[in-house]
Amino acid sequence: MMTNQIDQTAFSVLAVDGYPLSVTMYRPEEADTGDVILISSATAVPQRFYKPFAQFLSQHGYRVVTYDYRGIGDSAPKGLRGFQATMSDWVFSDMTAVVDWVDETLRPFHLIHVGHSFGGQTAGMLPNRHKIAAMVTMSAQSGYWKLQGGGQKTAVFFHVHITFPILSRLFGYMPWSLFGSAPDIPKGVALEWGKWCRNPRYLLGDASLPLERYADFTAPVLAYSFDDDNWGTRQAVDAMMQAYPNVEHRHIIRAEKGINAIGHFGFFRPKSKILWQETLSWLQQQSQ
């Protein structure tokens, strides 16, 4: 099925605690499978980054929803200094509310979750995880610093042991933009993320989280890792995906797909359309 016209609509959805979240829906005008695909972002990545992939899926009959966590993109205040937000808020208040909104407002035949990195790591803890019929993850890895590849291991060690705790407390937020193109993030996000990345089991070692919920996330999961992703190494993705009971892990070798570079973010760029087609085939199988 292929349609060309896509309607793009912006919404404001209230998180569980009432915080307003920026949400975008891409809807095919001519055909609709009845399913909805919800894309949950990687840490600090704004929803607009996923627009090309969302449009591709919508052109094939899916309604697709993207959103920004609080403190990120269009869900961020004018300034982050003193802004209160944690990664746990992103899961239990933001992601939870958007899953409920999709289910109750759009009423899909199947709600399919696409989780990039953080978005795929954490969906198993959602209180409403039973509403998800299937999930695809891209680079949803354990963030433990020793599992990172190449020079990334040193960089992550530096950030989670030194940069995050010191600069977050000094500035009242994490000025990540000082180190490159990454956007700034709320202080609480940086501190919780750093705590997880220092733990050999990453977030699975945080006893304050409802980790028992992963065991009954029985929806099928297609988990991608990529041979040039030094954040989401094959070992790191295996370490995170062992929390989910029903996972198919596909480790992608770039040369076999004719792609020069993928890394942690390249799946969502149009040059990776061969992987988009592969993912679409899997999604269509879940809808049968």
pLDDT at res. 2: 56
Task: HSE, CB side, 13 Å, CA atoms: give it for residue 98.
Answer: 31
Phi, psi of 27 (to 5 degrees): -130, 130
Q: Which residues pair with 111 in a beta bridge?
A: 36
Q: Which residue shows structure tokens 């912006």?
A: 10
10 Å CB burial of residue 208 (0-12, 13-18, 19+) is exposed
* Domains present along the chain, CATH in parentheses: 6-143+212-286 (3.40.50.1820)
Longest distance between any two alpha carbons in the chain, whole Å: 53
Helix spans in 33-163 (H): 51-59, 87-89, 96-101, 118-121, 152-158
Going residue by residue through the chain (288 aa), what tens digit of pLDDT does each one get?
Answer: 455 689 999 999 999 999 999 999 999 988 788 999 999 999 999 999 999 999 999 999 999 999 999 999 999 999 999 999 999 999 999 999 999 999 999 999 999 999 999 999 999 999 999 999 999 999 999 999 999 998 899 999 999 999 999 999 999 999 999 988 789 999 999 999 999 999 999 999 999 999 999 999 999 999 999 999 999 999 999 999 999 999 999 999 999 999 999 999 999 999 999 999 999 999 999 987
Q: Which residue's structure tokens are 């061969």?
A: 274
Give the pLDDT score at 3. 52
Q: Which residue is listed with tokens 């869900």?
A: 75
Residue 4's pLDDT is 61
pLDDT score of 125? 99
The two tokens of residue 218 are 């029985």
Cα 52 from Cα 49, distance rounded (Å) = 8
CA distance 9 to 276: 23
Can you tell me the distance from the alpha carbon of 34 to that of 207, in angstroms, rounded to the nearest whole number?
38
3-class secondary structure, 96: helix
